[in-house]
C-alpha cells in the first residue's frame, strides 16, 4: 500500500510540476479582440442618448407639442384676410306685359267722361305684349376683411392650456423613455462584463480539468488509478467543455447586444467595472419621497388631469356669449364700400347635450385623480421592493467573500495534497469547480446590485444619478 501511494504521488508530482495550474482566484479579465472598442459607461450612455430611436421619437413628440403650443399663442388675436373675384355674366329677362295693358284699360274706363276725352284712346297707350332685356358685363373686385374675437368665454385660454398639458405629457414620456434606456444600458453594459467573466472562468476551469484529464489518462496507463476514476475525470472534462462553450456563446450574444444598444460599428469592450458599495444607500424614505416628486408616471397623470380640466373649461366656455369686432373694406381706386362694427353671438340651443358633455369631462378629472392615487401607491411599493432587492444584493455580495476565500484555500490544499499523494485528481477538479462557482456567484451578486440600483433610481426618476453612485462605490469587481 505504501508503495502504491508513493508511485501515485510521484506520477501526480511529475504532472503538476510540468506546468503551474492557473490561479482562478487571481484570473485577469477575459481578453478582448483587437477590433473591440473600449468604452466607459458614461461614453456608452452619451451614445445611447444621442442615437436611440426610441428617445429621438419621444423628443420629436415633445418638440411637436411645444411648437403647436407656440403656434396657438395668438389664438385670441385678430384675423385679417384679403379676397378677390373676377367675374363676367350675361342676364336675360323676359317680361309679360299683358297684365299691365289690362290694368291700363281698366283705369281708362274708371276715369270720368270729361277726363277720358282729354286722354288718348286706350289703344294708343298699350304696351307690347312681351319685353326682352339682355345684359352682359364683366368686372373685378377685391376686399379686405378683419375679425377679432374680443370675448369667447375663456375658450382660447383653455385651448392653449390643453395643448401645454399635452406637451407636459410628452415630456413625461420622454423622461420615462430616458430612464428605461438607462436601466437597459446598465443591464447590457454590465451584463456583458458578467458574461465575459463567466466565460473566462469557465474556460480556465475547462483547461485545468482537461489537463487533469490527460494526467489521469497517463496515471491509468501506469496503473495508478482505477478505470472508474478515469471515467469520472472524462465526464467532468466533458461537462466543463459544455459549460465553457455555453458561457462563450452567452458572452458573444451579450457583446452583440451591447454593441447594438450603443449603435457601435465594431464590438465593444466595457471598461467600467462592476461595482458594489459595502455601505447601505440612503434609507427607504429618501427614495420614496424622491419618487413621489420626480417619477415621470406621476407627471404624466398630472398632465392628463390638466387636460381633462381644460377640456371641461372649454365645454363651459361654449355656453357663454361671444363678442367680436369685424370690418370689411372694398379695395377700389375710388368710392370704396366698407363696413365695420361689433357682433355678439350666443348659442341658445343646439343638438348637443352640454350638461352631459360637462359631466363627462368632470368624470375624466375624477379618473385622473383616482389614477394618481393608485400610481402613488404602486410607485411606493415598487420603490420598497427595489430598495430591498438592492440591500439583499449588497449583503449577498459581502457574504460570498468568505466562501471565495475558503474555496481558494481548499484549491491550494488540493494542489499540495496532489503533490503529496493525499488528494486525488477528482478532489482537485471539485476544488477548481467550487472556485469557479463562488467567483461566478460573487460576480452575479455584483451584477444584481447594479441592476437593482438602476431599477431603484429609475423608479425614483433619478436615473441620471447612477454615475454618482458608481463613482463612490468602494468595491470594483475587476
Residues 367-376 have pLDDT tens digits of: 999 999 999 9
**CA-to-CA dists, residue 240 to 22, 132, 203, angstroms:** 15, 113, 8
The C-alpha cell of 388 is what? 430591498
pLDDT, position 20 = 37
Residues 349-368 have pLDDT tens digits of: 888 888 888 899 899 999 99
pLDDT of residue 110 exceeding 80: no
pLDDT, position 109 = 63
- Count of C-beta atoms within a 10 Å radius of residue 206: 23
**Confidence category of residue 395, pLDDT binned at 50, 70, 90:** very high
pLDDT of residue 180 exceeding 50: yes
pLDDT of residue 266 exceeding 60: yes
**Confidence category of residue 17, pLDDT binned at 50, 70, 90:** very low
Cβ atoms of 132 and 94 within 8 Å: the answer is: yes
- Dihedral sign for Cα 381, 387, 390, 391, please: negative
Cβ atoms of 390 and 281 within 8 Å: the answer is: yes
Cell 420615462 -> residue? 176
Inter-residue long-range contacts of 444-447, CB under 8 Å, 24+ positions, other chains counted:
444/194, 445/276, 445/393, 445/396, 445/397, 445/400, 446/194, 446/274, 446/275, 446/276, 446/393, 446/397, 446/475, 446/477, 447/190, 447/191, 447/193, 447/194, 447/274
pLDDT, position 124 = 56
pLDDT of residue 123 exceeding 80: no
pLDDT, position 111 = 59
> What does the mean pLDDT of the chain come to?
84
pLDDT, position 309 = 93
Average pLDDT over residues 194-222: 85
What is residue 69's DSSP assignment? H
**Confidence category of residue 50, pLDDT binned at 50, 70, 90:** confident
pLDDT, position 462 = 94
* Of residues 126 and 312, more confidently modeled: 312
Most confident of 69-83, 283-297, 405-419: 283-297
Average pLDDT over residues 261-269: 84
> pTM for the whole thing?
0.76
State residue 348 phi and psi, 5-degree precision.
-90, -30
**Confidence category of residue 35, pLDDT binned at 50, 70, 90:** low
Average pLDDT over residues 27-36: 47
pLDDT, position 122 = 58
pLDDT, position 278 = 94
Dihedral class, residue 352 (left if φ above 0, else alpha if ψ from -120 to 50, else beta): beta
Name the least confident of 93-97, 116-120, 183-187: 116-120
Dist. CA 254–CA 246, nearest whole Å? 12
Dist. CA 434–CA 369, nearest whole Å? 55
Amino acid at each position: 500500500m505504501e508503495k502504491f501511494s508513493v508511485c501515485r504521488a510521484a506520477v501526480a508530482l511529475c504532472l503538476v510540476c510540468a506546468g503551474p495550474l492557473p490561479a482562478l482566484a487571481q484570473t485577469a479579465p477575459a481578453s478582448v479582440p483587437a477590433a473591440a472598442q473600449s468604452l466607459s459607461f458614461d461614453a456608452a450612455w452619451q451614445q445611447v442618448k444621442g442615437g436611440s430611436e426610441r428617445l429621438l421619437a419621444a423628443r420629436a413628440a415633445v418638440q411637436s407639442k411645444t411648437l403647436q403650443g407656440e403656434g396657438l399663442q395668438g389664438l385670441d388675436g385678430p384675423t385679417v384676410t384679403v379676397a378677390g373675384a373676377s367675374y363676367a355674366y350675361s342676364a336675360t329677362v323676359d317680361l309679360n306685359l299683358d297684365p299691365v295693358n289690362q290694368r291700363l284699360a281698366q283705369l281708362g274706363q274708371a276715369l270720368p267722361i270729361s277726363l277720358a276725352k282729354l286722354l288718348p284712346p286706350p289703344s294708343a297707350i298699350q304696351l307690347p305684349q312681351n319685353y326682352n332685356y339682355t345684359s352682359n358685363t364683366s368686372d373685378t373686385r377685391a376686399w379686405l376683411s378683419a375679425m377679432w374675437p374680443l370675448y369667447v368665454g375663456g375658450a382660447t385660454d383653455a385651448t392653449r392650456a390643453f395643448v401645454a398639458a399635452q406637451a407636459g405629457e410628452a415630456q413625461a414620456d420622454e423622461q420615462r423613455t430616458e430612464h428605461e434606456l438607462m436601466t437597459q444600458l446598465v443591464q447590457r453594459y454590465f451584463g456583458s462584463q458578467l458574461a465575459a467573466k463567466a466565460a473566462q472562468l469557465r474556460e480556465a476551469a475547462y483547461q485545468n480539468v482537461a489537463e487533469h484529464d490527460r494526467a489521469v489518462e497517463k496515471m491509468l496507463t501506469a496503473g495508478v488509478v482505477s478505470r472508474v476514476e478515469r471515467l469520472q475525470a472524462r465526464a467532468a472534462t466533458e461537462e466543463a467543455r459544455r459549460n465553457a462553450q455555453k458561457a462563450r456563446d452567452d458572452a458573444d450574444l451579450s457583446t452583440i447586444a451591447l454593441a447594438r444598444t450603443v449603435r457601435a460599428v465594431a464590438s465593444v469592450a466595457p471598461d467600467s467595472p462592476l461595482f458594489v458599495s459595502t455601505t447601505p444607500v440612503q434609507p427607504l424614505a429618501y427614495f420614496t419621497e424622491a419618487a413621489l416628486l420626480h417619477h415621470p408616471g406621476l407627471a404624466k397623470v398630472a398632465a392628463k388631469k390638466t387636460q381633462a380640466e381644460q377640456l371641461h373649461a372649454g365645454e363651459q366656455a361654449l355656453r357663454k356669449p361671444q363678442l367680436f369686432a369685424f370690418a370689411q373694406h372694398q379695395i377700389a381706386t375710388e368710392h370704396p364700400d366698407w363696413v365695420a362694427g361689433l357682433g355678439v353671438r350666443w348659442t341658445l340651443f343646439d343638438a348637443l347635450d352640454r350638461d352631459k358633455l360637462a359631466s363627462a369631462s368632470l368624470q375624466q378629472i375624477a379618473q385622473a385623480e383616482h389614477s394618481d392615487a393608485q400610481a402613488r401607491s404602486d410607485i411606493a411599493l415598487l420603490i420598497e421592493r427595489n430598495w430591498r432587492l438592492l440591500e439583499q444584493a449588497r449583503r449577498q455580495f459581502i457574504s460570498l467573500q468568505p466562501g471565495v476565500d475558503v474555496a481558494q484555500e481548499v484549491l491550494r490544499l488540493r494542489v499540495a495534497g496532489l503533490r503529496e499523494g493525499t488528494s486525488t485528481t477528482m478532489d482537485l477538479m471539485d476544488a477548481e469547480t467550487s472556485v469557479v462557482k463562488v467567483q461566478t456567484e460573487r460576480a452575479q451578486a455584483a451584477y444584481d446590485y447594479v441592476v437593482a440600483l438602476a431599477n431603484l433610481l429609475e423608479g425614483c426618476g433619478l436615473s441620471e444619478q447612477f454615475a454618482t453612485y458608481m463613482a463612490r462605490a468602494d468595491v470594483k469587481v475587476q
